[in-house]
Each structure stands twice: as structure tokens, then as C-alpha cells.
Amino acid sequence: MGHRRTMRAAGAALVCAGCGADAPEAAVRAARDLGPLAFEPVIRGRDGGYSARWGDRSVWVFGDTTLQAPGEDGSTWRSSTFCATDDLDASDGLSRLAEPLDAAGAPGELLPFTEEERAFNLAHFGPQAEGTCTEDCGARYALWPGPVVVDVSTGRALVFYTKLMARPGAFNFEVLGSSIAVWERLDAPPARPELRPGAADPTLLFDADEPAPTTAALVHEGVLYAYGCACAGFTCPCLVARAPVAEATERGAWRFFSGGGWVEGHDQAEPVMAGAPMMSVHWNERAGRYIALYSEPVSSHIALRTAPAPEGPWSDSEVVFTAMAPSTPEAWPYAGLGHGELARDGGRLEYVTYFRETGFLQGELRLVELELE
């Protein structure tokens, strides 16, 4: 699949000084594999899997999604999809993971392309471009959804996403910027509003040369905290930014943590921990701490950190379980994510998913139950 395995080089000069001071204050007693999530039969593979509680449902968003058969548009590829379930008890797996399908039985794109993006993709990528494309063939715009948060004051969901130019070849992605889509209702697609009128791409909240806070996000007391982990080699130092959730789509509302306080300029930001390109952060009642869960880069390990506040100080990393090996030795499991809305028994039981490749452009999201001491 390749989604988010890419390790963006931006921020390579950052050193995660002081990240990790003590052991996590959330010991894991046991990990129980609950098997893969069951999606519609047309789904060949999808990765990502950020989720959030929205109303009475757990809503999940995914990045690159491959299909067993083409949809109405003739394509077997989607760059963003979603599903939702009213089954909030994951102890026996999750059921009723439903999603809208077209007349051909395939999901559509979750994040809508602009007319310019759609025209480019039609001319360069997929069956529509076969026999007509003459230059940059196979290139496409991709919109990869990240964390989802809900603004309880308005009832709307906010979906972080990264815009990329993807070309044929392994890890051949160019990050063009990142932003937030606004999702008013589950039965209608999110909107990508123009957040910076007059900019080269007004839909983008953050340009390519700025930190992309699309790794993890949470809301606490009306404030939205978002993390961006830009990898340099096998280390991914994470910055954290915040804004009032009511002003999240206003670029000027965002401030970055500098180690000593919150500042306007991202060039003054300091990493708060080392994580991964995909990660989750949420409050765990049993530990009385925020917990971060993620796949260690280029590893089968799923790791955990804890902190008393979103900005830290974050504990050392501790491996909580080893993911099942992919079907091919050159691949590795990734996209380890926690799902705080599914936690049970006061946070004693937490639930994590990760992506495991099972074949060419094929994979599964496995669900694991963590029992905390």
C-alpha cells in the first residue's frame, strides 16, 4: 500500500532533546489479538484507520484504498475512504462497519478533489488516462486523511489531511501541504473550504515548508492540539501545535510549543517526543495520563508513551506488543493507532489497530486489545 510509510525529510535538523524522561505511567499487562477488521468485500486493502466518536458512532477514515473491482468511475483506487459503526464494544471485534457504496458496490472518495485536481487525475492516472496520457503518466493528486476530532459546541467533525503528488515507484511522494476538512454530517462528504484566499492553493492551511500537524490530534477543554512528526532517517521528532477548536481553520490562531511556552513561529518549536508519521494521542482515565500509541518506524513494535499534558513531558517509549509479520519479508507492519473512543472499564482496556500487508496492494487492519495494570 505504501501510505504514510514515507518518511518526510522536512525537519531533519531537529533533535529531540529531552524527549523521554521516565518509564510510562501505564503498564500493559497483556495484549490480545482480535483479528482483522471486516470491511465490505470490495475492499482489497486500506491503511490509516484514524477514528473518533461522533454522536453514537465510531467513525474511521483511511488513506489509499484498493478495490477488488472498479467503481462506477472505472477505477480500483481511492486516496481516502471512510466507514462507521454503532458497535462501540470492541472486546469481540467490531461489527457493522458500514460505508456508502456506489451502484457498482464500491466506496467513493471521502475527501473531494477540486476541479483542477480531478481533471489532472483523469488525464494522468487510472483507466481514463490509458492511451491518452503522454507526459507524467501515473501521477496523481492524493488526499490522505489523518486524525479526526469533533467540536462538541457545533457538532461538526474536523478531518486533518495531507495533500500530495504521488508518482509511480516506491515512496515517490511529494508533500504539497496540509489542511483541515470540515465534516458537517455523516451522510454528506466533508468540505475543503478555502482557508487562505489568494494563496497558491487556498484550501491548504499549512504549506509544504511548514510542519504538517497531521500525525495525531485531540481536543481538551475547547483547545485543539495537533502533532506533526517529520521523520529524519528512523527517528521522527514530533512538534505540537494548538488552537481554539472554534478557530481551527484560521491559520493565525495556531501556536507551537517551544519548550517554554506557546509561540507563533514554527521555527521556534521544539520536539516534545519521538514518534511516527501516524500516531494517536488521547486521555486514559486509568493512568491519569495522556497516552501516545504508534508503530516504531521500520519495526514490528507497537510503542506507548505517557504524559500529564498534551505538550508533555512525555515518558520514554515502551514496546507494548509485537505486530504480526507481513506476508512479504521486505515489508513491515505500520500505522499503529489507538482508538480512545473504544476504551472500556475506565481505561483498563484500550484498543489498537495496525496495518499488515497480505499481498500485492492488499492488506488488513488488525485489532488488538491492551489490558493495562
Mean pLDDT of 262-275: 96
Question: What single string gives the DSSP state of each residue in 280-294?
Answer: EEEEETTTTEEEEEE
Is residue 62 within 8 Å of 49, Cβ to Cβ? yes
For residue 18, pLDDT over 80 is answered with: no
Quote the pLDDT of residue 12.
34
The answer as to whether 15 is a domain residue is no
Read off the DSSP letter of residue 112.
P
Determine how β-strand 255-257 pairs with β-strand 237-244. Answer: antiparallel
* H-assigned helices in 89-232: 115-124
The whole-angstrom separation of Cα 32 and Cα 370 is 7
Is residue 146 within 8 Å of 160, Cβ to Cβ? yes
The answer as to whether 5 is a domain residue is no
Reduce the DSSP state of residue 356 to 3 states and report it. Answer: strand
Mean pLDDT of 194-215: 96
Quote the pLDDT of residue 26.
86
Residue 168 has a CB neighbour count (10 Å cut-off) of 11
Read off the DSSP letter of residue 191.
B
User: 225-259: per-residue pLDDT in tens?
Assistant: 999 999 888 899 999 999 999 999 999 999 999 99
Quote the pLDDT of residue 233.
80
The answer as to whether 224 is a domain residue is yes
CA separation, residue 38 to residues 96, 103, 169, 188 (Å): 9, 21, 29, 23
The whole-angstrom separation of Cα 72 and Cα 204 is 29
The whole-angstrom separation of Cα 140 and Cα 174 is 11
The answer as to whether 183 is a domain residue is yes
The answer as to whether 144 is a domain residue is yes
CATH number for position 177: 2.115.10.20
What percentage of the chain exceeds 70 in pLDDT?
Answer: 94
285 Rama sector, left if φ>0, alpha if ψ -120 to 50, beta otherwise: alpha
Q: Domain containing 55: what range?
A: 28-372
- How much is the mean pLDDT over the chain? 93
Is residue 243 within 8 Å of 231, Cβ to Cβ? no
Quote the pLDDT of residue 20.
56
The answer as to whether 18 is a domain residue is no
The answer as to whether 22 is a domain residue is no
Q: Cα–chain-centroid distance for residue 270?
A: 22
Quote the pLDDT of residue 285.
96
- Residue 9's pLDDT band (boundaries 50, 70, 90)? very low
* Amino acid code (one letter) for 321: F
Residue 187 has a CB neighbour count (10 Å cut-off) of 6
Mean pLDDT of 204-220: 97
For residue 10, pLDDT over 90 is answered with: no
CA separation, residue 257 to residues 222, 226, 299 (Å): 17, 11, 29
What percentage of the chain exceeds 90 in pLDDT?
Answer: 87
* Amino acid code (one letter) for 72: E
The answer as to whether 121 is a domain residue is yes
User: 19-78: per-residue pLDDT in tens?
Assistant: 556 888 888 999 999 999 999 999 999 999 999 999 999 999 999 999 999 999 999 999
Lowest mean pLDDT among 9-13, 253-257, 316-320: 9-13
Q: Name 115's Cβ contacts closer than 8 Å, sequence gap at least 6.
A: none
Residue from 319, 238, 223 nearest 274 by CA: 238
Number of structural domains, the chain? 1
